Amino acid sequence: MTTGTDTEAAHRETTDTPIELAIRTTGLRKVFRKQRAVDGIDLAVPRGSVFGFLGPNGSGKTTTIRMLLGLSNATSGSIEVLGESMPRGLHAVLPRVGALVEGPAFYPYLSGRANLSRFDAADPTSDPRSRKDRVARALDRVGLTHAADKKAHAYSLGMKQRLGLANALLTPRELLVLDEPTNGLDPQGTREVRHLIRSLADDGTTVFVSSHLLAEIEQVCTHAAVMRTGSIVAQGPLDDLRAAGARTVTVRTPDIGQAGVVLTRLGLVPRRDGGSDVLVADLTAAVEPETITAELVRAEVRVRGIAVGGGTLEDLFVALTGEGFDVAG
């Protein structure tokens, strides 16, 4: 796991290993007039991973994605996608990449099926003889078969999002780039997209998912990077990122003073939190929750409850930036 200024060093370490990368950026920067929307980031996305690109709205995620796909030129820095330098390798890369960026746009008075047929026909690598089957499979995969002949303007936001995913899945892709893929979806639709992402990864597709919803990323991703105001503040395997989040122990007891003595003796720094019978302390690697419980009992502290919290991406984000985060949407 890397944070802050460690990102560049970790990127060099990653590039020196045999891990093959689907996306690699070095010093990637985008400046609009005097505003640095993306400020020298180093991304390393392993092939075959489900990579969460996290950050609040306005943190630079979509600007980064637009540069990765050749939709916007970088001010400085370098980009490699699927082993090709971008944007020089655009024509070689794009047929191997499916993308849903900044919400899907469709011909409003054509059906979902007709829209996909048009998009497929615009792909010079697609075989027109199998177009009908490709469109049908893509619609089925995102659960839109029942609405295939409905006009796109009558689709709900969630249905349009599904249709955008279907467009990205018309042909097999090595890399799928999804910008807020669950936007507008109900809980059932969100679960289906999550399942779809997992199934794509199982088939060997690298999935790059941009989102501001930490809970969604935690359930589906293997790796992640956290953006804040144009910079990457943490990056690495999801388990490493979770482990970097501060864990806490909360003890509820009427013997608050005696409990504080026990926690202090164990090397922790207890603090009052809320009610008069609650103590909280940050856990260290040297002290396990089971040890705390045993020591409290040995000291005859009356324990009404003990709970361990933390170890989540939310904890890490707050620790690194001092800001809250939209966890559930």
CATH number at residue 256: 3.30.70.100
Q: Please indicate, yes or no, whether residues 202 and 60 belong to a single structural domain of this protein.
A: yes
- What pairing do the DSSP bridges indicate for beta strands 21-32 and 76-81? antiparallel
295 within some domain: yes
Q: Please indicate, yes or no, whether residues 93 and 124 belong to a single structural domain of this protein.
A: yes
3-state helix, strand, coil in the chain (%, to 5): 40, 25, 35
Q: Please indicate, yes or no, whether residues 176 and 289 belong to a single structural domain of this protein.
A: no
How many Cβ atoms are within 10 Å of 127's Cβ, its own excluded? 11
Q: Please indicate, yes or no, whether residues 184 and 89 belong to a single structural domain of this protein.
A: yes
Q: Please indicate, yes or no, whether residues 63 and 12 belong to a single structural domain of this protein.
A: yes
Q: Number of helices (H) and strands (E), helices first, in the chain?
A: 12, 16
Phi, psi angles (nearest 5°) of residue 62: -65, -35
* Distance from C-alpha of 221 to C-alpha of 313, rounded to nearest angstrom: 12
Residue that finishes a domain, picked among 215, 242, 269? 242
Q: Please indicate, yes or no, whether residues 73 and 98 belong to a single structural domain of this protein.
A: yes
322 within some domain: no
Q: Please indicate, yes or no, whether residues 235 and 254 belong to a single structural domain of this protein.
A: no
80 within some domain: yes
321 within some domain: no
283 within some domain: yes
CATH number at residue 46: 3.40.50.300
Q: Please indicate, yes or no, whether residues 128 and 263 belong to a single structural domain of this protein.
A: no
Q: Which domain holds residue 52?
A: 2-242
* Distance from C-alpha of 268 to C-alpha of 284, rounded to nearest angstrom: 8
304 within some domain: yes
- pLDDT single digits (tens) 68-122: 999 999 999 999 999 999 989 998 998 899 998 876 789 999 999 999 999 999 8
Q: Please indicate, yes or no, whether residues 35 and 175 belong to a single structural domain of this protein.
A: yes
Q: What is the pLDDT along the chain (329 residues), one digit of tens a residue?
A: 655 544 444 444 444 445 799 999 999 999 998 889 999 999 999 999 999 998 877 889 999 999 999 999 999 999 999 999 998 999 899 889 999 887 678 999 999 999 999 999 988 888 999 999 999 999 998 889 999 999 999 998 888 888 998 999 998 899 999 988 887 778 888 888 888 888 888 888 999 999 877 777 788 899 999 888 899 988 999 888 876 666 788 889 999 999 999 999 998 888 887 667 888 887 776 788 889 999 999 999 999 888 887 666 666 766 665 555 444 43
Total count of domains within the chain: 2
182 within some domain: yes
Q: Please indicate, yes or no, whether residues 107 and 128 belong to a single structural domain of this protein.
A: yes
Residue that finishes a domain, picked among 242, 275, 293? 242
Q: Please indicate, yes or no, whether residues 97 and 232 belong to a single structural domain of this protein.
A: yes
- What pairing do the DSSP bridges indicate for beta strands 35-41 and 21-32? antiparallel
**2: which strand partners?**
235
Structure tokens at 270: 């207890």
Q: Please indicate, yes or no, whether residues 292 and 265 belong to a single structural domain of this protein.
A: yes
